[in-house]
Amino acid sequence: MHFDFSAFLVLATFITGLIWLVDVLVFKKSRLAENKITNAATEESDHEPVVVEYARSFFPVLLLVLVLRSFMFEPFKIPSGSMMPTLLVGDFILVNKYAYGVRIPVWEKEVWDTGKPERGDVAVFRYPKDLSLDYIKRIIGLPGDEVSYYNKTLSVNGEAVTKLAKGEYPDKSASLMQVPMLNFEQVLGEHTFDILEQPSSFSPEGTIMVPDGHYFVMGDNRDNSNDSRVWGFVPAENLVGRAGRIWMSWDSDNTRVRFSRVGQSID
């Protein structure tokens, strides 16, 4: 069963806030009145029930986390190598939640349009085949674009996206396939980034039009990515946010921090 942390956070914030509010408006007054009658305490020495004490302590913290996580930034961990070399397994990233519109938590209904995805953005989205899963890929095609991929050449609206060879990827150990990989630099929109290719491998090919309200995405590890070439488009309502920075990075054994990656901007 998938644990929905957003729903839990909203529910916990609501319950703790309700308990605290009801106590302030109803029960606290009656407790203070009893204290005056018995000469046992003043308002400053009011003994709250344990449940009220916990609710009063946790509510502000939960509310702050809810606001930050729902409307500003949310942390994610990179679980696979599909976005190598831009993102590695063990990278922890912050995702800008307001880049593609402000949404109500849990219901995910947009209430404020703050921007749209651009070609080349690295975006987190809910996997269309299983909404409980979060995926991260690079946005290649916008609504109305024609995207082609043949013989490892990407074209958008009939124009090939050029790539500059940079040699063999140095970190072979990071490849799940354990075969030589070639590194190329590409420019798409306002973004300059690296991609990986395996010369001997085959990737799905074809030409497709991106429908309205949808996006075409690909992984930077072009021959080792489960993306729009396989399962189709990402609906706009599935977008979670734009990847911003790497805030922590552990090696494959989770024993060493990759300090050189901490703080890197994700392009």
Q: What DSSP line would sit under 102-133, residue for residue?
A: EE-TTT--EEE------TT-EEEEE-TT-TTS
Does the pTM exceed 0.85? no
**Residues 77/134, Cβ–Cβ less than 8 Å:** no
Say which CATH superfamily domain 73-249 falls into. Umud Fragment, subunit A (2.10.109.10)
CA dist., res. 207 & res. 211, Å (int): 13
Residue-level pLDDT at 115 = 84
Instruction: Provide the sign of the torsion angle of the four alpha carbons 145, 238, 189, 194, taken in this order.
Output: negative
Residue-level pLDDT at 191 = 96
**Residues 252/232, Cβ–Cβ less than 8 Å:** no
Q: Residue 70: which H helix or E strand, with range?
A: helix 50-71
Nearest Cα residue to 35 out of 51, 48, 23, 22: 48
Nearest Cα residue to 91 out of 229, 218, 245: 245
CA dist., res. 73 & res. 91, Å (int): 16
Residue-level pLDDT at 232 = 97
Side-chain-side CA neighbours of 120 within 13 Å: the count stands at: 13
Residue-level pLDDT at 153 = 96
- If the chain, 267 residues long, is cut into consecutive pieces of 10 residues, what is the mean pLDDT of each piece? 70 90 84 63 63 90 82 88 96 93 72 86 96 95 98 96 92 54 95 94 93 98 96 96 95 86 95
The torsion angles phi and psi of 258, rounded to 5 degrees, stand at -90, 85
For the chain, the domains span 5-71, 73-249
Residue-level pLDDT at 175 = 45
**Residues 86/122, Cβ–Cβ less than 8 Å:** yes
Q: Which residues are catalytic?
A: 82, 137
